Amino acid sequence: MDLDKLVGQKSLIHRIKRIINNDSPGHAYAFSGPERIGKRTFAFAFAKKLLCCGNKTELCDCKSCRTFLEGTNPDFYEIITDKGSVGVDLIRDMQSDVANRPVYGKYKVYFIDNAEKMTIQAQNCLLKTLEEPPEYTIILISVTSFEALLPTIRSRTVNLRMSTYTDDEMREIICPVYDIPENELDFILKFSRGIPGNAFHMIEEGMVRELREHIFRLLERPDDLNAVEKVKNMLTDNKTEITTVLDILISVFRDCLMQKHTMENRLINSDKKDIIKCIAKSNSSRKLMDKIKEVERLRYGFKSNINYQLGIDLLLLEIQEV
Ligand SMILES: [Zn+2]
């Protein structure tokens, strides 16, 4: 994706453009921000512009831009690992490439994705390059938290922090790619927390939609053992979806409170208005607030060391008792 086509992150893009137009950019930049926010996309857009030896526009057809899009630019080097960590061997391989001058333009760009996976030895090894980088070397890093890097690396790296997107920006990102009904999009926006990758994950996996249907089914018919089993199995196989279920429940109780205060037009689950009305009718505001607290307590439990299966059972009881 070209830098000019990227949505949102306006001040960051402005900063990147200033760096690109600078005759002597720094040697290390870290894109930091939540998982799936788009750090790799930004790093690639930045790298493409840094390496361009043409007019730096989206349609530039210089050798560097052309090969970059093909994934064969010799001046771009990405550290990829399928293991749980980035070991010192990968950084050493990169360093032996740093010794070779760029083929096309002024710079060579190295990209380390998920830099929090670098071992301490790998970070110390990288430090050697950061201490005395050849003038043409630029290292880009993506990292969830800048603080996860060693202080010695941080002091030599410019932190380019990415922020979450507004709902309007999220729409601008999602709508050209997927055709989604408006009420479902509202729900996706709410649950993706301003992180495009979360929204894409929700849309592509389809699991969130399925989980949500089962949960509403259970809220309506607590004795539906088939739905209980389905939620249980889905959560046993996909531990990362537990947050989604907690979020869905919070949204239901929040909607019930809204319903009680006649703010129907602000429901997140507007397509499930009838069920929300029904739950709101049979629960006091106090009870609904307690339920929200209970779900948050469970969230904390899952983050700490609660037995996972036990946690799921407690969660299901919470749903069935509404
Ligand atoms: Zn170019």
Report the C-alpha gap between 286 and 280 in whole angstroms.
11
Give the pLDDT score at 303.
87
pLDDT tens profile 4-41:
889 999 999 999 999 998 888 999 999 999 999 999 99
Query: Residue 139 pLDDT more than 90?
Result: yes
Separation of CA 31 and ligand 1 centre (Å): 22
Give the pLDDT score at 209.
81
Give the pLDDT score at 241.
84
Separation of CA 56 and ligand 1 centre (Å): 5
Average pLDDT over residues 220-243: 88
Give percent above pLDDT 90 in the chain.
Answer: 71
C-alpha radius of gyration, the chain, whole number: 24
Give the pLDDT score at 260.
92
Separation of CA 242 and ligand 1 centre (Å): 45
CATH level 3 topology of 3-161: Rossmann fold (3.40.50)
Separation of CA 54 and ligand 1 centre (Å): 4
Query: Residue 207 pLDDT more than 90?
Result: no
**Token pair belonging to 37:** 């926010």
Classify residue 28 as left (phi > 0), alpha (psi -120 to 50) or beta: beta
Report the C-alpha gap between 124 and 146 in whole angstroms.
16
Positions of CATH 3.40.50.300 in the chain = 3-161
Task: Please state the pTM of the whole predicted model.
Answer: 0.79
Quick one: which of 84, 88, 265 has its CA closest to 186? 265
Separation of CA 27 and ligand 1 centre (Å): 20
Give the pLDDT score at 78.
96
Query: Residue 167 pLDDT more than 90?
Result: yes
Quickly state the pLDDT bin for 204 (edges 50, 70, 90).
confident
Q: Are 275 and 220 in contact (CB under 8 A)?
A: yes
Give percent above pLDDT 70 in the chain.
Answer: 100
pLDDT tens profile 80-108:
887 889 999 999 999 999 999 999 999 99
Helix (H) or strand (E) holding 253: helix 242-260
**Residue 118 gets which letter from DSSP?**
B
Quick one: which of 197, 147, 146, 191 has its CA closest to 173? 197
- Of residues 262 and 165, more confidence is placed in 165
Q: Are 117 and 84 in contact (CB under 8 A)?
A: yes
Query: Residue 183 pLDDT more than 80?
Result: no
Give the pLDDT score at 66.
96
pLDDT tens profile 272-316:
999 999 999 999 999 999 999 999 999 999 988 889 999 999 999
Separation of CA 36 and ligand 1 centre (Å): 27
Positions of CATH 1.20.272.10 in the chain = 206-320
CATH, range 206-320: 1.20.272.10
